[in-house]
Amino acid sequence: ALKTFDFAQSQDQYVGAGYGCDSCKTCFDSESYAIDGACPPDKCSPRAGTFPKCWDAQKLLANFSCSDKYSLNLSSVQSNNQLKVPTEAPEKTLRARFLTPFNRLVGALVVKQKRLKVLDYRSPNGSSQVCSFRNDSFSKYSRTADPSRGLICLDKEGQDAGFFGVDPVFAAFSTLYDGKLNPFDFYKKAEFASSVNPYGFFPHSYDGQKGGDKPMAEVFPEISGDFLLFFDEHVTSVRASKMIAYLKDGNFIDEQTSEITIEMNTINARNNILCKTVFTFTWQPGGKIQWDYSIFSVPIYLYDSGTKDKQSVLEYVCIIFLAINMLSELYDLLRAVKRFNIFKYLLSPANWLDWCHFVIMSIAWWLWYQQVNLTSQFKVDTGYTVLASPADETQARFFMTDSKEEAKFLAFSKSLYDLGQNLRTYTNMTSICVILF
């Protein structure tokens, strides 16, 4: 039989699995200890879940006949005997995000982190050292502290892709903490660092919605172990502030952080230019944080509408002249072979300069052809909703993504990067031609 519940002690009691009122300090695991699988959230454990059955008001409400739902037709509401037709609220539209007055953000701002793997300087049997100081006295001193935090070494196999951090919505120290939420409603068991504390950050190869690895078609191998966070264009300013607080309170940057990259893709409608801006912060072994940036500007239209035909004709003329010059040089080479003057031909610096000119010019024209072809095929989607819940409807797990939308946006970002790299290489080749030839 159930024991009498002492309401005077309700602040520290719950209904246990043994059908008795037990002390809250014994409720370590809601599913195992509580009779209904959940300790009271506002009394015992804010992360546990619902109220126990001894607080159920179902019996009190059995004969309660007042309804809390009423049907209402807004068009029938009258004032002064006159029918007023209500004005429907307009549908929510996407607000354009601009980094500068003419440069609009495309898709999302991406924060990417690479992490070091931590190796203990002691082997499993404690005999040899995997990572240590050369000075034995320093090694002995380092063993007096926690080796997992006091000495970090980069694993030869690569970077760390394990879950890390915490979700600050379930951390009592955070300003985002919400004691009424149950973490098991947002996370699967494998995503918990402890019995009640879920991890906050997951690698690119992990699908948070399905709770497993993404399909290979949605994973980019070069960043599969990186941790990507997206601030997409649907996010409001209030939400963005909370997401930044999530990064801070969730310990996104810690002792294993190796590199932070911030990427932004923009479009300038006034000048018809796409741009990728990348800021990189690298943690050096000596303690410095080295930073660098790169900007790729790509014109959407390589030819002006008024001068396209003239420019195309000039390009074909230049290609024809280059071909004639190369044939002339080949003729000189064949003539040298027939006259047994091949060594004299090869020892002439002018001939080597001519062939270098031909090779560089040919590569430059090939790169220009690729640039024209890639630009004509390049497309921007109507929208990139990368976050699974970009608005304020999600109460936790702010950075969970839609894997398909994420893959679509990353494909666009990579295409823009390849387009910028190809144009940069072409510019370098043509610059060499202008300077040397």
Q: How long is the chain?
A: 437
pLDDT in tens, 239-250: 899 999 999 999
CA distance 170 to 166: 8
The burial of 120, by beta-carbon neighbours within 10 Å (0-12 exposed, 13-18 middle, 19 or more buried), is given as middle
Tens of pLDDT, residues 83-111: 566 677 677 677 788 888 899 999 899 99
Give the C-alpha separation, 252 to 161, whole Å.
13
What DSSP line would sit under 149-168, residue for residue?
A: HH-----TT----S-BS--G
Q: Residue 202, Cα to own-chain centre: how many angstroms?
A: 10
Give the whole-angstrom CA distance, residue 29 versus residue 282.
41
Query: What Rg do the C-alpha atoms of the chain give, in angstroms?
Result: 33
Alpha helices in 47-87 (DSSP H): none
Q: Which residues contact 9 (CB under 8 A, 6 or more apart)?
A: 21
How crowded is the C-beta side of 275, counted as CA atoms within 13 Å? 19
Judge whether 429 and 364 are in contact, CB under 8 Å.
yes
Where does 151-274 have alpha helices with state H?
237-249
Query: How many of the other CB atoms lie within 10 Å of CB of 143?
Result: 15
- Token pair 């039989």: residue: 1
What pLDDT was estimated at residue 199? 95
What pLDDT does residue 9 have? 42
Mean pLDDT: which of 21-25, 198-202, 281-285 is highest? Answer: 198-202
Return the pLDDT at 231. Answer: 93
Predicted confidence (pLDDT) per residue in 334-381, tens digit: 988 888 888 888 888 888 988 998 999 999 999 999 888 888 888 888
State how far the Cα of 139 lies from the Cα of 420, in Å rounded to an integer.
48
Rounded average pLDDT over 29-47? 62
Alpha carbons 262 and 99: distance in angstroms, whole number: 14
Dist. CA 85–CA 255, nearest whole Å: 61
Structure tokens of 405?
């939308």
Sequence letter at residue 6: D
Residue entry with tokens 């640039």:
371
- Tell me the whole-structure pTM to 2 decimals: 0.71
Q: Which of 147, 159, 165, 166 is nearest to 258 (CA)?
A: 159
- Using alpha carbons only, give the angle 169, 174, 176 rounded to the nearest 5 degrees: 45
From the CB of residue 154, how many other CB atoms can be counted at a distance below 10 Å?
15
Do 263 and 229 touch, CB atoms closer than 8 A?
no
Q: Which DSSP category does 37 fall into?
A: S
User: CA angle, 219 as apex, 218 and 225 as ends, to 5°?
Assistant: 150
pLDDT tier for residue 277 given thresholds of 50, 70 and 90: very high
Residue 386 pLDDT greater than 50, yes or no: yes
Q: Are 263 and 110 in contact (CB under 8 A)?
A: yes
Predicted confidence (pLDDT) at residue 3 exceeds the cutoff of 60: no
- Among 53-62, 113-122, 308-317, the range scoring the smallest mean pLDDT is 53-62
